[in-house]
Amino acid sequence: MKITLAALLGSLLVAGALQAVEAPAPTKLNTTADHSKFKELQREFASGPEVTKACLTCHTEAALQIHRTKHWTWEVINPLNNQRLGKKNVINNYCISTATNLGACATCHVGYGWVNSSFDFKSQENVDCLVCHDTSGSYKKLPGGGQPPVKDTENPPGSGTIVKAIDLSAIARKVGKTSRDTCGGCHFFGGGGNGVKHGDMDTSLASPDKEVDVHMDATGLDFTCSTCHKAPAHDVVGSRYMPTGKDSGDAHMRGKVNKSNPATCQSCHGQAPHKAGAQPAKLNQHTDKVACQTCHIPQFARGGVPTKMHWDWSTAGKLSPEGKPMLKTDAKGHVIYDSRKGDFVVAENVTPEYGWFNGEVTYTLLGDTVDKSNGITLINALGGSASDGRSLIWPMKVMRGSQPYDPVNKTLVKPHIAGDDDTAYFKNFDWEKAIATGMKAANAPFSGKVDFLKTEMYWPITHMVAPKENAVGCNECHTKGGRLDKIEGVYIPGRDANHLVNLIGWLAAGATLAGVLLHGLLRIVRRKN
């Protein structure tokens, strides 16, 4: 009996042990490190740099890696033409320039405290780790240096609006991989608002469905930005200053070292992406001349968020009958006039414009001569042609506008736009004073005269890839007046015609018709006889 009881007890203990071993873990972790358990993070943080200092105790090289990237320097040297580009150097036809506007612009900088030239770019603790690695969704920074609100703060000063403090300690213990939300926290809002700049990037991509983006579909492939935009040593690949116009390589092999751009369509899909459906071989022939995006992004701004298509700074400064700044909206509530900024044209579901593009981009920079009599000044000119062997037909958002320039020195200008001082245009609506301040800070001459000229800026479209069933149809391009009506240097059947070939074809068709009619007539005659 004792033996039986002992055996039974032993078997129960073994079964219990096995059950304990085999029980699934209640939580599946996607990382080998749970930051909530790190001793260094079990304290209160009074500032962003304090959090970074804690991060660096383990991630010893992270800040130094960031220091080498365009996200930190906002500067890029184009090796093709030696132009000094990047956000701090270029001029655009949106908010025009960072220059003296860093207090507002640097809210999206991956650092703390950049408001003027005194910023210490060599400081490791000035790197903002949380802006990219927050997973709580509660991290935010304030204009005027990009510091997080560690206490309730009135912003803007004197507005009466209170920004609630955030818990840096709780946020630090919840850091993780980047996401569409963290990348989008800046890139969705480029140009001063949601969807303003890019046209193919806005908050609809935070959790899109398949119709908006087949890759980022939140219930499907669920790609994050870093799925394509890899970041070895924190250096995110892909650049609007030096994009890849035509990728002639094969699909990347996982694990293989490859110096080509992993953010191109070809890097995943190869040079013959069409495997099934109607005439895949014929469709694959298009990849020699046509960018994947041209067919697979039929419209941009498709997620319910409009994008700016035109910005007229020359009409800014109009006040209400009461003498106060005013806003005007359209039927959908979208702002179409702002006293501080002028008139806007916004649009959704926009059909792109198309052009040859080889990846070369040349900017009109401060000091370059511009001529109003030319009609349009190109903020950036895209290289490419049908004959260079390096170009494809790309879809573009073309941003058009009117912006200030110096008619005496014949240069674009960098006005002081945002700020609380009396030279900021948003405060005084005085272009001469605002431009004088901005140009002095940029160490550039200004005549004191202001005029406005029309500009265009080109943005190659690459996000908001539609499902294949929504791709551009053949008849949308292969027809007169179609999408590619203005594309030169290539013969497009259905759009183009060769008069000799057409004549031969019509003669052949006429001869055939005549033969049929003659044959029928002879049969009728013979039947009567």
- Position of tokens 């000063």? 157
- Omega cis (within 30) before 26: no
Nearest-angstrom CA–CA distance, 46 and 150: 7
Contact by Cβ (8 Å): 291, 394: yes
Contact by Cβ (8 Å): 484, 495: yes
Nearest-angstrom CA–CA distance, 18 and 24: 12
Q: Following CA atoms 160, 162, 163, 166 in sequence, which dihedral angle do they give, to the nearest 10 degrees?
A: 160
Each residue's pLDDT expressed in tens, for the chain with a length of 529 residues = 334 434 433 443 333 433 444 445 555 556 788 999 999 999 999 999 999 999 999 999 999 999 999 999 999 999 989 999 999 999 999 999 998 998 888 889 999 999 988 999 999 999 999 999 999 999 999 988 789 999 999 887 778 889 999 999 999 999 999 999 999 999 999 998 999 999 999 999 999 999 999 999 999 999 999 999 999 999 999 888 989 999 998 898 877 777 788 899 999 999 999 987 778 999 999 999 999 999 999 999 999 999 999 999 999 999 999 999 999 999 999 999 999 999 999 999 999 999 999 999 999 999 999 999 999 999 999 999 999 999 999 999 999 999 999 999 999 999 999 988 899 999 999 999 999 999 999 999 999 999 999 999 999 999 999 999 999 999 999 999 999 999 999 999 999 976 676 677 778 888 888 888 888 788 788 776 6
Sign of CA dihedral 378, 381, 386, 388: positive
pLDDT at 130: 97
C-alpha angle 78/79/83, rounded to 5°?
40
pLDDT at 497: 78
Number of H helices, E strands in the chain: 15, 15
pLDDT at 529: 63
Output the DSSP codes for 10-40.
Answer: HHHHHHHHHHHHHSPPSS--SSS--GGG-GG
pLDDT at 17: 38
- Position of tokens 């001459």? 445
- Position of tokens 């030169």? 488
Which residue, among 226, 197, 270, has the nearest Cα to 216 in the 3D structure? 226
Distance of CA 43 to the CA centre of its chain: 37
SS3 at position 353: strand
Which residue, among 518, 519, 495, 515, has the nearest Cα to 507 in the 3D structure? 515
Residue 332's Cβ-count burial label (10 Å; 0-12, 13-18, 19+) is exposed
The first and second tokens of residue 328, run together, are: 């005007």
- Position of tokens 């002992």? 6
The first and second tokens of residue 473, run together, are: 């149809």
pLDDT at 360: 96
Nearest-angstrom CA–CA distance, 314 and 450: 10
Nearest-angstrom CA–CA distance, 341 and 315: 8
pLDDT at 499: 67
Nearest-angstrom CA–CA distance, 62 and 415: 35
The first and second tokens of residue 203, run together, are: 């908050």
C-alpha angle 94/100/105, rounded to 5°?
55
